[in-house]
């Protein structure tokens, strides 16, 4: 039986308020939020039957610190926190823990190549 689920997927492409279309908004929520709910929904029965389990959702600190330049991403990652609370409340009685980790900026090659600037790095350190 499945006892652990780690929900980790993201797309943090930078975008402006003016550039966001309905399709882009929906896509950001699909990549950053929707899978977390449906994966949890899929494994919860097995976890409950096994006597419990643990679901770990990956959020982002970006929305907590008010990072600019990607409103759809920040909105979806803020919703991960709300989803986590809702799932924890509903699945807790079945001995299924649901928690959210909110990491800071992970300096992957992609992040460094696309978005890291000296000014941005100083802003991160300031926060």
The residues assigned a catalytic role are: 73
What is the number of alpha carbons within 13 Å of residue 92 lying toward its C-beta? 8
């Amino acid at each position: 039986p499945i006892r652990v689920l780690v929900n980790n997927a993201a797309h943090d492409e930078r975008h402006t308020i003016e550039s966001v279309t309905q399709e882009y908004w929906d896509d950001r929520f699909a990549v950053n939020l929707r899978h977390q709910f449906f994966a949890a929904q899929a494994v919860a029965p097995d976890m409950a039957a096994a006597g419990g389990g643990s679901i770990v959702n990956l959020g982002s600190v970006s929305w907590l610190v008010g990072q600019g330049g990607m409103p759809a991403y920040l909105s979806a990652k803020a919703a991960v926190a709300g989803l986590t609370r809702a799932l924890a409340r509903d699945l807790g009685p079945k001995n299924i823990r649901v928690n959210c980790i909110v990491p800071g900026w992970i300096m992957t090659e992609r992040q460094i190549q696309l978005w890291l600037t000296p000014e941005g790095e100083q802003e991160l350190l300031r926060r």
